[in-house]
Amino acid sequence: MSLINVTHVEVLDNPTRFTNPFQFEITFECLPPGIQEELEWKLVYVGSAEDEKYDQELDSVLVGPVVVGKNKFVFQAPAPDPSLIPAKDLMEVTVLLLTCSYREKEFIRIGYYVNNDYPETEVALVQARAEWKTQVEAIQAQYSMAFQQATAQQEAAQSAHAQAVAAGLPPPAEVQVSFPSPPVFPPAPDVDVQHLSRNILADKPRVTRFQIPWDEAQAQEFMMDAADEAKANEEAARADESKEGEGMTPADEEEEEEEEDEDDEMDDGEEEGEGEGEEGDDEPQSMQG
């Protein structure tokens, strides 16, 4: 059972300018018997969905001592550094991660989609961006159509060749299919972060919770469970290696298991016979000793 239950997160000052700090009012409950150490909250801005190296940890804060019952605080973090974000990822949709850890173990992660765009009042910037997107979409559509046509020609030529071979006829003349070169897009307009607006989709968070040990006893249980699992995996791996070394096939393994089952049944029968032949036992054989 988790000793910390996050009950509500309110995003403050949203929407706002891209350069303004993030603000979250976080409410959580601490259940008895409580926790002994501080909670660590972090805010991470995903700079690019293609590479984690562009993630920025905007800030982290230690909260404590935590009292049993309801707790509330405001977590404020600076805006991301735009110079560390790829130009193509500065605008439109990205992700913001709010996490909390106890004893360096994360137990909750709250993800938000964030949309960065120009407000409608920035007419010139909005128009320049829209014109660029229209050009990109037109080039992409033209490339897609040419690629589909070339693919269709190639498939038709392969089909004609296969039909001729199947009919015992000479194959048709080879058709040279020319696929289009990858499209070249015009450079995107420079992003003016000072006029950029940020909108966190606060009503659609994605919450992920993780099981962690909250005290020393639970930590020992986690360690024992992990050790048992590792030991079981190691033994299973050794058994597989042993069978491979002996050259056993799946059929051999199945036959060996059947023989073991028959031996077990015979052993059970012998034990039952011995029990029936003994007298003077007030309790069943299995309960003595």
Q: Domain residues of the chain, as ranges? A: 4-118+196-214, 121-193, 216-271
* Residues of the chain predicted below pLDDT 70: 216-232, 235, 242-289
102, β-bridge pairs = 39, 105
pLDDT at 244: 63
Calpha distance 44→59 (Å, rounded): 8
Nearest alpha carbon to residue 96 among 46, 61, 48: 46
Helix and strand numbers, DSSP H then E, in the chain: 3, 10
Other C-beta atoms lying within 10 Å of the C-beta of residue 64: 13
User: In a 3-state reduction of DSSP, which class is residue 123?
Assistant: helix
What are 241-276's pLDDT values in tens digits? 766 666 555 555 555 555 555 555 444 444 444 444
> Residue 144: what pLDDT?
96
| pTM for the full predicted model | 0.67
Q: Does domain 4-118+196-214 match CATH 2.40.10.480?
A: no
User: So what's the pLDDT on residue 283?
Assistant: 38
The answer to whether the peptide bond before residue 65 is cis (omega within 30 degrees of 0) is yes
Q: For 33-62, how does the pLDDT look when each residue is reduced to its tens digit (9 = 90+)? A: 999 999 999 999 999 999 999 999 999 999
pLDDT, residue 215, reads 74
